């Protein structure tokens, strides 16, 4: 498995992944995302120097998911991960999270990386936990219950 930075050509692929029913069910805003809205979001994120987006590739170099970070002024980064339909349950989540966090840490000065996960999304809770994230507490995100899971950058094994 490896990562590559998102390119402009990935806009449609990310839109398909973002609108996959299971991804929408686990998102904090579950309504389908219209194409025009996605294009505007993608362009803004792609140009934002504080946004780092990766496509996850399997051993055959096929895209299987995405990892995105929003670096905040307080030195933290918020992480978002999704895997393509048919690619879940293969261990890609943990590996993608680990590699993407390590790459972000090599390139950006951050003190912690935060994930917000719906408590019922057990696969994501496990993937983040196996990647070194620790459950901190519960919060409400966009009207939904969420677990706040944090990776402290000084965690062993993540420094290059």
Least confident range from 48-52, 60-64, 135-139, 141-145: namely 141-145
Q: What is the pLDDT of residue 153?
A: 87
d(Cα 160, Cα 122) in Å, to the nearest integer? 29
d(Cα 120, Cα 106) in Å, to the nearest integer? 32
**Buried (b) or exposed (e) across 48-80, using 16+ Cβ within 10 A?**
eeeebbbbbbeeeeebbbbbbbbbeeeebbebe
Are 53 and 5 spatial neighbours (Cβ–Cβ below 8 Å)? yes
Would you mind telling me the total number of residues written for the chain in this entry? 160
Q: Which residues have C-beta within 8 Å of that of residue 83, sequence separation ≥ 6? A: 56, 64, 65, 92, 93, 96
Q: Is 3 left (phi over 0), alpha (psi -120 to 50) or beta?
A: beta
What are the pLDDT digits (tens) for 26-45? 888 889 999 999 999 999 99
Residue ranges per domain, the chain? 2-152
What are the pLDDT digits (tens) for 86-102? 888 787 889 999 999 99
Q: Which fold has domain 2-152?
A: Aminopeptidase (3.40.630)
What are the pLDDT digits (tens) for 106-130? 989 899 999 999 999 998 999 999 9
Cross-strand partners of 134: 150
């Amino acid at each position: 498995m490896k990562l590559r930075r998102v390119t402009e050509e990935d806009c449609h692929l990310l839109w398909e992944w973002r609108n996959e029913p299971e991804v929408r069910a686990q998102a904090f805003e579950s309504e389908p995302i219209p194409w025009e809205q996605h294009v505007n979001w993608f362009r803004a994120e792609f140009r934002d120097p504080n946004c780092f987006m990766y496509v996850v590739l399997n051993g055959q170099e096929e895209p299987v998911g995405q990892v995105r970070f929003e670096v905040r002024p307080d030195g933290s980064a918020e992480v978002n991960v999704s895997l393509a339909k048919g690619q879940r349950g293969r261990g890609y989540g943990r590996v993608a999270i680990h590699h993407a966090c390590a790459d972000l840490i090599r390139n950006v000065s951050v003190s912690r990386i935060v994930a917000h996960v719906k408590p019922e999304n057990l696969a994501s809770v496990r993937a983040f936990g196996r990647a070194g994230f620790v459950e901190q507490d519960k919060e409400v995100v966009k009207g939904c219950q969420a677990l706040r899971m944090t990776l402290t950058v000084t965690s062993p094994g993540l420094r290059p």
